Amino acid sequence: MKVCIFGAGAVGGHIATRLIAAKADEISVVARGAQLQAMRTRGLTLRTGGKEIHAKPAVATDDPSTLPPQDVILVAIKATGALPAAASQIAKLLAPNGCAVFMINGIPWWWRHGQKGESGTLPLLDPEGALWKEVKSERTLGCVVHMPNEVVEPGVIVHTGPCHLVLGEPDNSSSARLKSVADMLTRGGIETHTSNDIRRDVWQKLALNASGNTLAALTRIDLGGLGTDPGLCELSMKLMREAIAVAAKQGWDLSKEMDVEKLARRGKPGQRPSMLQDVTAGRAIEVEALLGQIQAFARELNVPTPTADVVVSLLRGLDKSIRGA
């Protein structure tokens, strides 16, 4: 199977390392900058569970047009403006029967695919509809990543915590391609589960990310620090409860399975979520996928989100200052 990892940062780099090391499929990598240069010269190093995994891609490029058509594209670009900007490249790289797996945080752009009475992309996540029109939702698989990673230097990824993926069809079907992609990832040494309700899995993780990721970015305090600060811990619980309320109004009741007070204190010292990593590195942050779209859903459904309303405005201002817009 021809498999391309499109974006080899923290998550993409982790997955690329495991798949290349397993030597079970034909793996190529699309990356850029210092990460690409490190891959070409030294390869990738993944530090996980007290061991190191080393792998060097046979093909690593910043020009996806040089690659042959791919059976599977694992898209690990952050859900910022860079994702819709890459729509055309991703679409052209897909083989006629290929599929793209979007390994992104938060609400995905394909959310309305197969939803009763709903259709079309989400403007906050795909403003011009490029992903919807070019990649096409019917050629995608959803993915929820439970795999905290950080690039500590070019080509070197440190992984801590859980390590598994959840895959699902946007229309919740059990398809041959879903099984095929899950099997490929499993061959590569990545624990992979399939879901017949991928949106529920998205909401389960997002309720946590909408609080921990966002507040860490604004305060530059890691998850351990957030969980021990009474005021920030209370703010985290409010954000989680608002996200859970929106999910419930959409049909996914998570209230009985999520202990908000316990989860608000879950973080360990030094645990830096992705949005905090992006802020400290001066990169654009995933405001809309992690919180802006929750607010948009809330307004459609008449669900009050007073805490999220304040936090999302602060995050948008922070993102604007980072981008110099």
38/34 Cα distance (integer angstroms): 6
Q: What angle do CA 22, 195, 204 make, to 5 degrees?
A: 105
325/319 Cα distance (integer angstroms): 9
256 phi, psi to nearest 5 deg: -80, -20
The catalytic site residues sit at 205
Give Cα 64 to chain centroid, integer Å.
21
CB 110 within 8 A of CB 289: no
227/234 Cα distance (integer angstroms): 9
CB atoms within 10 A of CB 317: 12
Q: Which of 2, 4, 1 is nearest to 60 (CA)?
A: 4
CB 233 within 8 A of CB 265: yes
